[in-house]
Structure 1
Amino acid sequence: MTEPTSNAAGGIQYVPYNRLCLSSLNVRKKAPTGIEALAETIGEKGLMQNLVVHEMKGRAKLPKLGVCAGQRRLAALDLLVEQGRITKDYEVPVLIVSQGEAVAASLIENREREAMHLADECVAFRLLTEEGKSVAHIAALFAVPDIAVRRALKIANLAPSLLDLLRDDRLDYDQAKVLALSDDHATQERVWGDAINKWQRRPAELRAALTHAEVNASENALARFVGLDAYETAGGRVRRDLFSDDANAGYLEDAELLHRLATQRLIELSQAVGNEGWGWIETRTRYEATEILRLGRIGSNTRKPTKAEEAELATLNATRDAAQAELDAYYDEDCEPDEERGERLEAAATAATISVDQYAERFETYDPEDMKQAGAYVYLDDEGRVCIERGLVRRETASTTQAGAAHTCSANATRVPKERPLHSEKLCKRLTAHRTAAVQIELVQQPTVALAVLMQRMIPVVFAEVYGRSNIDSAVKIDVHTTRDALVSNADDMAGSVAWLALEGEREKWSRMLPRRVADLLPWLLEQGEDVLSNLFAFCVAATVDGISSADRPHAVNEISNTLAVDLSRYWKPTRSGYFEHVAKDLIAAVVGESVSPQAASEVRGMKKDAAAEAAELRMTDSGWLPEVLRNREVPERVTYGYHEDDEGGDDENGDAAAEADQVSEAQASPGEEEVEPY
């Protein structure tokens, strides 16, 4: 098959208008525009540019000539004939080409004239491939990169109904690119048809619908760690994304295989770490900040680096400082943000910091005996890089070592650290103050529950002969004191709390209704109806609830909270001042990674602490996320002392109760045990 030439089949010829018809090989399918203006020009000046035609198959002795290039000019001639301005024997200049050359001629002609619609151009590329033209040949013919041709062929593979929508501009290019990720027309049409609302037709939402069970290779840490080649070698399938410039762009269909490959490789890498002499090694496919931060650490020594190592470390430090300075300068610029540049600078700063940290690890040494009681975590960060945390001590190991230290006076006993809590005492009090306010305002609206809560506190005291000496672990203080001042003193952001504002509104309402003198209070109460008394009673009980705690542990206020089904996310939001500036940056990144995305966590990890806290607030204020302290809904175990009579009394039972009381007394006298508050 020959390529079209400037003089195919003998050059320009003149044929009568009535021999012309529109060819099915004309790649322009969208109706042409501006025909009236073009007809006026032809009517006044004549047809100055030829049409490109090919012979149509038929039984006529003089075959029709199909116009494969020049659809707008043919439409203008049709209009002139209808208007009677030219006759059907009007001589039209044409270039006759073979049928095999028609598609290429039409495509070349249309690209050089009025811009073709994207859908028509893509379909034309597909027609050329169906005629046997290679991607490279088409790319060379139209002076475009191979990837542009491949992308056009992807668009051309859309279902015909979707191509029609694209031609009519009811489906835009970005949406088409996403739908083209699937080669199945039924799937394409289903995803588009299911997207009823406008927001569901955003490219990101369409992509999620198509790839909901697949792994985004360009963003997933495991995919970066394993590599697409290793994944495909193991039999995994990849849905390639031709419209991304990322070399790893695509979607992995077998998440289980990917996780298995990553775990196997991590285990292999961890063996070398285990040979260092650690008591245990754990591998994780992601950074578990809450898990690692709870562990203790053994002490270490730092050896002095050699001169060569000092010089190399100085170079790495200089590179890190320069990268961070460039990133800080970018943040300080007062101009339109350049997202691509920002991501590049953040990645460079993070990589430089990691390089310094990894190089510095070679100078850290541990006592061999301590190493036997400690271990290391081998995990992947958000970029798929292998990281190692050494010198970690588990809770049970620390407890065992501490117990042994009570009987020995070895110097090593001081090396075992106390388990570090995830949140400080001050932050726990801040968070639980908000929890208390939330429970109070919910209790205000439930007088019956408020009555039950108070009675639960009073009855064991009044009926001591029934309940014995019980430790009354209650959130309500029977000596009647409010927790209003405690809420404000422990949480300086309480004034903006939804629960606090509602509570203060209730307080102001009742303050206006109550008599000014205490002597008038009882007569006033006796005059009130049942509704007023029950609602006032509920507010007063709620005001005595005390759920503030200095640690994340089971609390009696949770029993009330669970009864009321309090949704704490309605009353507390993760803000910079209320949470993020009070925790470590690693924990901020872990929280963002859990609630937003690994990519967002990676961005936060590359920022300074203040910027990271601010960024986390922007991403998470309305996420509904709660810290562990507020997610903890456990209730303390009830402890009972002395005699407790069940359905039937007896001497044996009294004896058992007395023995139990003695055991408890001994437990209270034992050193190191937590004291139990008397009621």
Structure 2
Amino acid sequence: MANAVQKITLSPSRDIPFNKLVLAQTNVRRIKAGVSIEELAESIARRGLIQSIHVRPVLDAGGEGTGMFEVPAGGRRYRALEMLVNQKRLAKTASVPCVVSNPSGPILAQEISLAENIEHAPLHPLDQYRAFKDMLDGGMSDEEIAAAFFISTNAVKQRLKLTAVSPALLEIYADDGMTIAQLEAFSVSNNHARQELVWDAIKNSWSKEPYQIRRMLTENTVRASDKRAVFVGLEAYETAGGDVLRDLFQSDDGGWLQDVPLLERLVTEKLQMMADEIANEGWKWIEVAVSFPYGAANGLRELDGTPIDLTSDEQATLDALREEFDKLQTQYEEADELPDDVDQRFGEIETAIKSIEARPVRFDPTEIARAGVFVSIDMDGALLVERGFVRAEDEAPTTPEAGTDPGVDGSDVQATGSVQRAVITIGGQLADPDEDEEDGHKPLPDRLVMELTADRTLALRDKLANDSATAFLAVLHKFVRDLFSRYRAQGVAMEVFVRGTVFPVQSEGLRDTTYARSIQARHEAWEKRLPTDVADLWDALSALTGTEQAELFAHCSSFGVNALYERADRYGNGAISTHGVQQRLADANHLARAVGLDMIDAGWRPTVGNYLGRVTKARILEAVREGAGEGASQLINHLKKGDMAKEAERLLADSGWLPEPLRLADGDLKAIDTNAGDEDEALPEFLASDNDAVLADQEEKRLDAAE
């Protein structure tokens, strides 16, 4: 006959007055964690005691009950009730539901306390989201839910934001198929089909980090910090029906604008509206674009306007601001660090002074009738209006004075009757033909080398302008080569008669680089100091100190720098031969070494736009290998080219890596035979012709989920 199964007997429950309970010393919880006692007390006051307390009778020395009960499990609930009693919100004799265990049983009180805490399972985040959603549907607001559970409103919004995620992905998360961080990344987009495509594309990959998910979901959007978005304004964009994707789980810099065509239309309309207002001033032409390339005004004469005088009120405001600035500067000149409010006030004063001093300019109406205006968007999203440029064909039909008019970049530009029009950008991007996708280690494209050397030329100009001794030596070197017949003056980097070099090919954003802005600021500062009438120029230069003359000499001579690569005619029919290009670049290396040019210090960084998206996968991997190490290159070698370029930009951001055209040659350069003819010689690998044989891979398929 089988033995009967021993039945389990549960401990009885009963209501015990609170003043009959004492906290046991056997409770294993010693460290505060989770919800505070204060929050638990408020929860009990709102909802009552949801879970009873486990107690044991307190026995005397003879083993008899004393009428008191100790609490080995439920100590936080006991302390919360104690707080309510002390606050007079709960009576001392209030009945507390308790489970009473046998004090003489085989189970220790510590085991009971430990089991209660260990066996408590935290709520799954998805269950929390669903509960919050039910309460929201039941009429509670985000703020009311947050207040009820003593959490921030943002925490509630984060959980509710998961409603944007596809139900299929929610189920995958519930089955532990992805992490909470990955699920949160998907909430950036509301497009369930797109989310599922992205997951299908990466689910079998070893690399499926949240940042990668966010990037794939937002790659066809525009950041709210983009100058086009700032120019239009998020409010105007949303009013027009545009959607903004936002990330509640990490800083999103304002979010992403999803409707790019709408943004482009709003940008165009606003620029056109601004141009229409400016047209009322009587200008002959107005060029409108999101941005213009560096040197867009080359060959145009810039009008000399007269700043409009300050009104008495403006002058009084300016004086008061300067006085306050000087007072604060004196007060805190000994401080190691400025208080936040003072630092903020300094910024406000500087902005206000700059605004007042940026006076509008009055032009001669006759000149306005033949001149034009460039209208674009500045780096910070503000409207940029550059007035007063006259084309050569619009000049008055009068005999010009001897010499030529200085161009806006400080070079002597002779009128040719035709002016190269500014390159119009589309959506802030230069239109470029698609680059080949082969993976072979092919030579760098000529256009890319031209763009890179344009950056180097401009940075070299800026560096030389701050080194008067080297500038003087460079010009003297050129003069000697011009004067003595045993030297040749061809193929040199210093083109000293000073003729500014136009960059027919350049990367987008060259105009906004640190070195371009430095040159422009320095040029404008000298322009303000020099006389308007050329008849007064000699006396004005003579009046400068030796140091000032040297600084101006360095500035002017820097415009003669030409470190550009250009594709030469192999048969000598062009303006410069292949050998001449070699000589120019070698000469530029001498100059760069003399002034200590470092393109990283100058501010150049490899990006998708200026290099990584323009070369083959083999060159991308080579760059990452050189700049970030073999391990980093292996992390991205499986990616499609577009993703690889973006990841490479991140990996190389602070690596100090430079492509070959921007590096200085190691060691001393070999002497160049200046008496040699212009016969062809093999260019360095990075300057080799695209006709050199290279192996080509099959064209990569586009990632459907990222289109």
Question: Is TM-score (shorter-chain normalized) higher than 0.5?
Answer: no
Length-normalised TM-score, structure 2: 0.42
**Structure (1/2) with the larger helix percentage:** 1
Larger-gyration structure (1/2):
1
